[in-house]
């Protein structure tokens, strides 16, 4: 039992602690991927297989990790990715994560299907945040969400384009999170799992309410549970969306526009033509189409296609500051951190997120120093060892 009191240090440590603290159905929702989870695994291993080239006897007494993401300063080149159902992992988790991101000095992105609302996040501080949007069949709520985001001070919209249909996540099917099982089986399995985790039950289940998609409450009729909202949002996902719809979105959104879910040079060029200020090379963390390439492998091809025309970020598989260094070496301007921040908030709350982000920044500094680079904006392929 003594190991439970050890302070977590790495993403893997926070993941293990989150697994202990969360009911199984919630941990699997967070941790799992689509189908056989091949892409989920390869996103991580592809980063691990990239080797850094140690270069010593350089003056690395002054290391600068600061950068700008869409003209906004960041203490290191990362932002917290949008995560659905975050507030089910810890009490008002999105609020806790926003506070931690503000303290560290990087952007926080609120998901359309977050538990906390746009207005709740805006009340945390006067520091701006980003808002992530799915295109809905009913364009009325889309327009209203964008206006609410603007009213809350949001200047950067992250539009996710790889969710025209839902990929099957078999862990969710087995746990009754997908709606495939009967209602009694779903409720029975989830209640038992929650009862086996009394700390979560008290902190989140009883004291973390309301358990609804906060920003969507006004649009979902007669809804009181996450299941109601999940059903509504699934029905609202628009499989007919094309680049023309992005042009429409661009016409009504005056702020910065980030297109998230790009995995090919062709789509990257289309995103730029549609008016994107930045794009995210992403496969949705391996949660959509299983068997596609890891994002870090596709990043150089996207960079070659559109470098100089839009900022290029990458997500899916980023688990450390070393991974951030590798991404920048291959041409990324920044990274999105997804599962790691949710592991941390589930394990240790706001303080866990803050400490994990400090760890990422420290790991990045060490990677820079021992590869002979003092400015994060100057990271190039020269820090990668391709000789082996």
Query: Which three-class secondary structure string do you get for 104-135?
Result: HCCCEEECCCCCCCHHHHHCCCCCCCEEEECC
pLDDT in tens, 165-186: 989 999 988 887 765 454 445 5
The pLDDT, as a whole number, for residue 190 is 77
| pLDDT average, residue stretch 315-319 | 98
Q: Please return the burial class of 3, using the count of CB atoms within 10 Å of its CB with bins 0-12, 13-18 and 19+.
A: exposed
Q: Please return the burial class of 126, using the count of CB atoms within 10 Å of its CB with bins 0-12, 13-18 and 19+.
A: exposed
Identify which of 226, 209, 306 has the alpha carbon closest to the alpha carbon of residue 259.
306
Comparing 7-11, 209-213, 262-266, 343-347, the range with the smallest average pLDDT is 209-213
* 3-state secondary structure (DSSP) of residue 237: strand
pLDDT in tens, 93-130: 999 999 999 999 999 999 999 999 999 999 999 999 99
Percent of the chain with pLDDT over 70: 93
- Global pTM reads 0.95
Active-site residue numbers?
A: 284
pLDDT in tens, 226-265: 666 677 877 888 899 999 999 899 999 999 999 999 999 9
Instruction: Supply angle C-alpha 236, 81, 256, rounded to 5.
Output: 80
Confidence of residue 188 (pLDDT cuts 50, 70, 90): low
The per-residue pLDDT of the chain, averaged, comes to 93
The pLDDT, as a whole number, for residue 185 is 55
């Amino acid at each position: 039992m003594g190991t439970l009191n050890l302070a977590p240090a790495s993403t893997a440590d926070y993941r293990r602690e989150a697994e202990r603290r969360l009911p199984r159905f919630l941990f699997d929702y967070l941790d799992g991927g689509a189908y056989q989870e091949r892409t989920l695994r390869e996103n991580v291993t592809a980063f691990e297989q990239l080797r850094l080239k140690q270069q010593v006897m350089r003056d690395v007494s002054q290391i600068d990790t600061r950068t700008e993401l869409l003209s906004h300063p960041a203490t290191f080149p990362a932002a917290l990715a949008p995560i659905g159902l975050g507030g089910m992992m810890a009490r008002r988790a999105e609020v806790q994560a926003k506070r931690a991101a503000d303290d560290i000095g990087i952007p926080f992105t609120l998901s359309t299907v977050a538990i906390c609302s746009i207005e709740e996040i805006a009340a945390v501080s006067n520091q701006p945040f980003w808002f992530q949007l799915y295109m809905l069949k009913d364009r009325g709520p889309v327009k209203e969400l964008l206006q609410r985001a603007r009213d809350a001070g949001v200047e950067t919209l992250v539009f996710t384009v790889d969710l025209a249909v839902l990929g099957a996540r078999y862990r969710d099917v087995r746990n009754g999170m997908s709606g495939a099982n009967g209602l009694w089986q779903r409720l029975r399995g989830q209640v038992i799992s929650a009862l086996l985790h009394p700390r979560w039950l008290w902190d989140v289940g009883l004291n973390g309410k309301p358990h609804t998609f906060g920003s969507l409450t006004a649009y979902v009729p007669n809804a009181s549970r996450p299941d109601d909202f999940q059903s509504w949002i699934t029905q609202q996902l628009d499989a007919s969306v094309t680049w023309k719809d992005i042009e429409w979105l661009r016409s009504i959104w005056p702020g910065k526009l980030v297109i998230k879910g790009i995995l090919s040079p062709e789509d990257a060029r289309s995103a730029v033509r549609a008016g994107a200020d930045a794009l995210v090379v992403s496969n949705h963390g391996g949660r959509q189409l299983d068997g596609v390439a890891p994002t870090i492998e596709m990043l150089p091809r996207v960079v070659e296609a559109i470098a100089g025309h839009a900022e290029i970020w990458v997500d899916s598989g980023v688990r450390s500051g070393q991974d951030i260094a590798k991404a920048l070496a291959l041409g990324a301007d920044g990274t999105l951190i997804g599962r790691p921040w949710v592991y941390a908030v589930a394990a240790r709350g706001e303080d866990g997120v803050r400490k994990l982000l400090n760890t990422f920044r420290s790991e990045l500094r060490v990677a820079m120093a021992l590869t002979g680079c003092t400015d994060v904006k100057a990271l190039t392929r020269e820090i990668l060892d391709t000789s082996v």
